[in-house]
Amino acid sequence: MERAKKLIEAMQLSEHEGVLLYNPSNMFYIAGYTGEGLVYVSSKSCAIVTDFRYTEQAENEGKGFSVCMTDKGKSHENIVAGICAKEDIETLYYESDYLTVSAFEACCKAVPAVEWKNLGHIVEKLREVKDEHELSLIRQACKITGDAFERVLSVIKEGVTEKEIALTLNFDMMRHGASACSFSTIVAAGANGSLPHAVPSEYKIRRGDMITMDFGALYGGYCADMTRTVAVGEPSAEMKKVYQIVLEAQKMAQDAVMAGKNCRAIDSIARDYIYGKGYEGRFGHGLGHSVGIDIHENPRFSQACNDTLVAGQIMTVEPGIYLPGIGGVRIENSVSVTEDGCEVLTLPTRELIIL
């Protein structure tokens, strides 16, 4: 209930206003609920509206939330209409990113008397700064992820496929407490490394290949995100040089992370360095992003983000250089922003490992 109160406060919600949440990540943040349906919040009551499959789960997870079950002739929007009539609600806020057009039309039909207003990203904004409990979950997610990296090194050798490496990482993370992967694991070897979001394939590792692995554990509903690039046998002089440039860029940017710093300026530190070394155009994505319930949250380390860092935000720092037909290098740590710098949550070494 604490977070529902936080939302009511942040919105200065009047007693005639209610909020409908459809975004699963926002439902989880506000109600602790991980099932399907919707979450209703007003100053008078909070409810989870769902179907039979999730009612028991909703009772267990949604502390302080009443649970309303849909039934034949009693749809989600009928239940919302009933609550609105009982509570004398005149305005309902909805998430335009998540309510489909047809669901919105059904809502308007069922609750015609209210005014519908776009909620915007107020909940996402509340999620930006993590509390101690959230931080401890992300710290553990990052620990599981880092440990999986240390252990996968023993299976990476000539002849092993990208898929086998991905599978080993995924299995290891779940074996050690992850509830799932926080996103689809990327393993890109040799020339595939120039694809920042390569899908693991049947490609077999060859001597001299560099292998980029980008993966993360989901733990307690929170994501980890880490990338390392390793080599099997001595890589080419060019790829070794590229590795050192990415490593230096990662270190410089990570060392600059601190509450009060500008996100674009942090991106520029790595970008200017990489471009200055002659790789302009070969680092085409942002330097990093925030992580939490979702793998990609705001703020971002990019030229488009003018936000100021706040203590309690979790950020990735992940510069890369991608050379089509040759290969790529990316090194990514997740860090927790503090008043005087940052706590590094991704523990394995960033130095080049040659297997």
Kindly state whether residue 192 participates in binding Mn ion, applying the rule CB under 5 A: no
* Site size for Mn ion (CB under 5 A): 2
- H-type helices in 62-153, by residue range? 76-87, 101-110, 122-127, 132-152
Q: Give SS3 for 155.
A: helix
At position 353, the amino acid (one-letter code) is I
Nearer to Mn ion, 208 or 348 (CB): 348
Question: For Mn ion, which stretch binds (CB under 5 A), given 49-57, 135-143, 217-225, 257-265?
Answer: 217-225
Identity of the residue, 165 or 331, whose beta carbon is nearer to Mn ion in the bound complex: 331
At closest approach, how far in Å is the CB of 128 from Mn ion?
Answer: 16
Q: How far is the CB of 136 from Mn ion (least distance, A)?
A: 21
Question: Which one, 61 or 297, has the nearer CB to Mn ion?
Answer: 297
Q: Is 225 in the site for Mn ion (CB under 5 A)?
A: yes
Residues 6+ apart with CB under 8 A from 68: 47, 48, 49, 50, 79, 83
Q: Which is nearer to Mn ion, 76 or 330 (CB)?
A: 330
Residue 124 or 225 having the CB closest to Mn ion: 225
- Report the residue closest to Mn ion, judged by CB: 225
Decide if residue 316 touches Mn ion (CB under 5 A).
Answer: yes
Sequence-distant (6+) residues with CB within 8 A of 323 are 194, 238, 242, 282
CB of 311 to Mn ion, least distance (A): 21
Look at strands 327-330 and 320-323 and give their pairing.
antiparallel
Closest by alpha carbon to 343, among 306, 320, 313, 300? 313
* In the complex, minimum distance from the CB of residue 223 to Mn ion, in angstroms, rounded to a whole number: 9
CA dist 344 and 348 (Å) reads: 10
- Residue 315 in tokens: 């950020």
Terminal-to-terminal C-alpha distance of the chain: 51
Instruction: By CB under 5 A, tell whether 77 contacts Mn ion.
Output: no
> Does 170 help bind Mn ion (rule: CB under 5 A)?
no
As measured in angstroms, the least distance from the Cβ of 229 to Mn ion is: 14
**For Mn ion, the closer CB: 23 or 145:** 145
Q: Which C-beta is closer to Mn ion: that of 196 or that of 235?
A: 196
Smallest gap from residue 291 Cβ to Mn ion (A): 7
Closest to 286 in 3D by CA, of 273, 301, 272: 301
Segment lying near Mn ion (by CB under 5 A), choices 32-40, 142-150, 196-204, 222-230: 222-230
The whole-angstrom separation of Cα 264 and Cα 257 is 11
**Under DSSP, is residue 220 helix (H, G, I), strand (E, B) or coil?**
coil
Binding site for Mn ion (CB under 5 A): 225, 316
